[in-house]
Amino acid sequence: MRRREIIALLGFLSVGGAMALWGNLASLFWRPRFNKHTAQTLTAITDLMFPGDGLPGATELGIHNRIAAMSDLHALITDGVDWLDRRAKQQGAPNFLALDESAKSAAVEAAYASDDVATSQFIIKLRFYAGRAYYSEPVIKSAFPYTGPPQPDGFPDFQDPPR
């Protein structure tokens, strides 16, 4: 899945831009401020990104907790949440969580489209890790055909139209 990871994680950027981002991130002073508000915002974004649409949503499956446990993402997430909160304040709301659903959606879209590389990477990485975890969940996979493990049965119907 390595090429897929590269496409998903770096695809939005030039490779040169990604390298510059890495340099910037590495030079950041560590600020351990991943707090309850950060976690709640992360939950809201995860829910917005992978709501389920008839299947269990990502937060229902605890995907947000898995992302929160990825400590190497904390700096990126806390800065991203800051960005979203600042934007919400400019719109008269106390923070991102206070926005209604459509405004939340617009804010995440704006973060993704931001010229600030770290902010867009916040959304890209969140989408990647949450999406990968979500669509790897057995309950989600079981709703799609041909998602089971390759072995031990293989695909006896490989010559036939898909079922």
Partner 1 sequence: MSNGAGWDVVIVGAGAGGAAAAYGLCQRGISVLLLDAGPRFDPAVDYPLTGSDWDAQDFPEKPGSTGKFTFAPGQKLTGVEPLLQSGSRGLGAFVTNGVRWMDKYHHVRGIGGTTLHFTGESHRIHPAAMKMKSRFGVAADWPIDYAELEPYYIRAEELIGVAGPQTQGARWRSRGFLLPPHPLSYAARTLGRGAAKLGLDWQANSRAALSVAWNSRPPCNYCGACNLGCPRGDKGSADITFVAAAVATGRCTVRPDSPVVRIEAGGTDRVAAVLVGRPDGSLERIPCPHLVLACGAVESPRLLMASGGLANESGEVGRNFMDTLEVTVGALHPDPQHGRRGLPDDAICWDFNAPDAIPGVIGGCRIGNASSESEIKGLAAFALAVPGWGRAHAQSVRRLWGHSLHVGAIGERLPNDNSRVDLDPEARDRFGISLARISSWLAESDIARLRFMAAKSRELLAASGVQEIFESYSSWDWFAASHVFGTCRMGADPATSVVTAEGRSHRWRNLWVTDASVFPSSGGGEAPSLTIHALALRTAERIGKDT
- We find the least distance from the C-beta atom of residue 63 to partner 1, in angstroms, to be 12
By beta-carbon proximity to partner 1, the closer residue of 97 and 106 is 106
Q: How far is the CB of 12 from partner 1 (least distance, A)?
A: 6
Token reading at 70 = 């990825």
Q: Residue 21 Cβ, how far from partner 1 at the closest point, in Å? A: 12
Sequence letter at residue 58: A
**CB nearer partner 1, residue 6 or residue 28:** 6
If the CB atoms of residues 20 and 35 are measured against partner 1, the closer one turns out to be: 20
CB 25 within 8 A of CB 76: yes
The burial of 128, by beta-carbon neighbours within 10 Å (0-12 exposed, 13-18 middle, 19 or more buried), is given as middle
N-terminal to C-terminal alpha carbon distance within the chain: 26
Cα–Cα distances in Å, from 158 out to 63, 142, 153, 162? 33, 19, 12, 8
Q: How far is the CB of 108 from partner 1 (least distance, A)?
A: 8
Interface residue list for partner 1 (CB under 8 A)? 1-4, 6-8, 10-17, 48-53, 55, 105, 108, 127-128, 131-132, 134-136, 138, 140-141, 144-162
Nearer to partner 1, 76 or 126 (CB): 126
| Tokens 């909160």, located at residue | 85
